[in-house]
Amino acid sequence: MIRLENVEKTYQSPEHGAFQALAPISLEIEEGDIFGIIGYSGAGKSTLLRIINLLEQPTNGKVIVAGRDLTILSPKALRAARHSIGMIFQQFCLFSNRTVAENVEFALEISGIEKKDRQKRVKELLELVGLQDKSSSYPSKLSGGQKQRVAIARALANRPRILLCDEPTSALDPQTTQSVLSLLQEINRTLQVTIVVVTHEMDVVKQICNKVAVLENGRLVEELSLTHAKGAPASNLGRLLFQPKNEWLLAREVASV
């Protein structure tokens, strides 16, 4: 579904000059995966995720999604290809001046769907995420978990085959985190959406991912299967993944994520 070939990112800034955020990375994500990308703050997780839909242009390498290299598409073809890739963020990124229904409808407006069809689809989507009764509310009236559900509905509006999630539960309390994770699992199972989740929360990975890539300082240090674990993980973070939660929390404090 997604193949990254020697993807590399160097940021240029006037103050600091060139900074290599990602060393060449090759990675394959299969259809139906819930694929985790873990690492400490600054490891390059968001950069890698944003490269998958080319929100960030890689300095080098190929980004092959459903058989097509996105890096060589025309702007128009890239916009079309992006319709098959939804994205959600830690801070939800909803439009505060639009109602819940209008937030979801926005994604359909920009893809040119007619009003009547939009309204039908918005209704379906709000049912999917369990927010039918919040249709006319504004985001400021919602809890964090509800906001993330609206963002998920909006991201799924154009029936994408891939959903990219950047720290989707990092702004949520543990209970709400559970309900959002269950929703993501349900979407993966029932709609066959391939999910990529960037997180620094080990629990999230343990709970929903079948595979995980570990990033350290812009390098891919390990790929692990959580369903067919073989041998001991080689990286520190990989090892922590199979240890009790308190040890992970301790390591996090030491590294001050």
57 contacts ligand ADP (rule: CB under 6 A): no
11 contacts ligand ADP (rule: CB under 6 A): yes
Please state the φ and ψ torsions of residue 30, each to the nearest 5 degrees.
-90, 155
Q: Nearer to ligand ADP by C-beta: 150 or 196? A: 196
Q: Taking every pair of C-alpha atoms in the chain, what is the biggest distance, in angstroms?
A: 55
Least distance CB 257 / ligand ADP (angstroms): 9
Q: Nearer to Mg ion by C-beta: 46 or 148? A: 46
Where does this chain touch ligand ADP (CB under 6 A) — which range of 44-52, 125-133, 139-147, 245-253? 44-52
Report CA Rg, the chain: 18
Which of ligand ADP, Mg ion, none is residue 44 near (CB under 5 to 8 Å by kind)? ligand ADP
As given in the structure block, the two tokens for residue 143 are 């809890």
CA-based nearest residue to 142, from 197, 103, 114: 103
Give the interface with Mg ion as residue ranges (CB under 5 A): 46
139 contacts ligand ADP (rule: CB under 6 A): no
Q: Which of 2, 7, 27, 43 binds ligand ADP (CB under 6 A)?
A: 43
Range list of H helices, the chain: 45-52, 75-82, 100-110, 115-128, 144-156, 174-191, 202-208, 236-241, 245-255
Least distance CB 224 / ligand ADP (angstroms): 18
**What mask of x and - would describe binding to ligand ADP in positions 13 to 42, judged by CB under 6 A?**
x-----x-x-----------------x-xx
Q: Using CB atoms within 10 A of its CB, is residue 57 exposed (0-12), middle (13-18) or buried (19+)?
A: exposed
As given in the structure block, the two tokens for residue 83 are 């319709």
Residues facing residue 130 across a β-bridge: none
Which of ligand ADP, Mg ion, none is residue 42 near (CB under 5 to 8 Å by kind)? ligand ADP
Please give the residue ranges that form the binding site for ligand ADP (CB under 6 A): 11, 13, 19, 21, 39, 41-47
